[in-house]
Amino acid sequence: MLIFARCVFARHSLLGNGELVLDVGGTPEVYFQLDSEARLSTSQRVRNTLVNMLGGRPRVKSLIDVRPNPLADLFPCIEYLDRGYNQEKLDTDQDYTVDFTIDDQVEHLADRFSMAVSFDTLEHVADPPAFCRNLLHVVKPGGYVYLQTVFSYVYRSSSEDYFRFSLAGLRECFGQTQGTISECDWGEYNVAPYILLTKDG
């Protein structure tokens, strides 16, 4: 996903400018759930082939890989905001721990950042319009918001998924904000919609 986002950032000259960026829902370390047929034993792969032929759902082995947040390579002046979920699960830390849907908790960050980014977080938020409004609230006038979420990925019970968003759904979430949409389209494999906005003013 980040490879695709990097192309969007490059198209808009957002890389390597030394500006302060906020990763909402991110931490210095991120985890990736890796599903791979290659990690299964030979007998499990044969079993999965037979189950698949009979119309069933084969088993997949899942591994969790924790690594440094790749956004730090793109944006040297990045700060992280998380509600505390990643800190608790991964024993990692962030710069800010607030509920991003509550205006009073976000007010001290108003107009501070040149860009706010959020990856695979919106689907876990109980109030998406408030979340999107606050993404623009923390960005300086003329700054950018990039949000990428999921549409057709497999459900993961590690943290609750409340919503899935189409392109129209993303536009609606930002409909009552002070932002102008620069791009809104499908990302990689047409399963991850994204939106890039500029804050008005």
pTM above 0.85, yes or no: no
**pLDDT of 174-196, one tens digit each?**
998 999 999 999 987 777 899 99
pLDDT given at position 111: 97
Superfamily of domain 2-28+69-199: Vaccinia Virus protein VP39 (3.40.50.150)
Task: Note the pLDDT of residue 88.
Answer: 54
What is residue 35's predicted lDDT score, i.e. its pLDDT? 54
Token pair, residue 72, equals 């730090």
Cα gap 181→135, rounded to integer Å: 13
* Model pLDDT, residue 92: 58
Strands 113-119 and 21-24: parallel
Alpha-carbon distance 93 to 169, whole Å? 31
Is residue 64 within a helix (H) or strand (E), and if so which, with residue range?
Answer: strand 61-68
pLDDT at 98: 81
Domain ranges of the chain: 2-28+69-199, 35-64
The dihedrals phi and psi of 25, each to the nearest 5 degrees, come to 95, 5
Residue given tokens 């986002």 in the structure block: 5
CB-count burial class (<10 Å; 0-12, 13-18, 19+) for 73: exposed
Contact (Cβ atoms closer than 8 angstroms) between residue 143 and residue 177 = no
| pLDDT value of position 6 | 94
Q: How would you write the pLDDT of the chain (201 residues) with one tens digit per residue?
A: 688 899 999 999 999 889 999 999 888 887 665 555 445 566 776 777 777 778 777 666 555 667 889 999 999 999 999 875 544 555 556 788 888 899 999 999 999 999 999 998 888 888 999 999 999 999 999 999 999 998 765 555 556 677 788 999 999 999 989 999 999 999 877 778 999 999 998
Q: pLDDT per residue over 50-71, tens digit each? A: 777 787 776 665 556 678 899 9
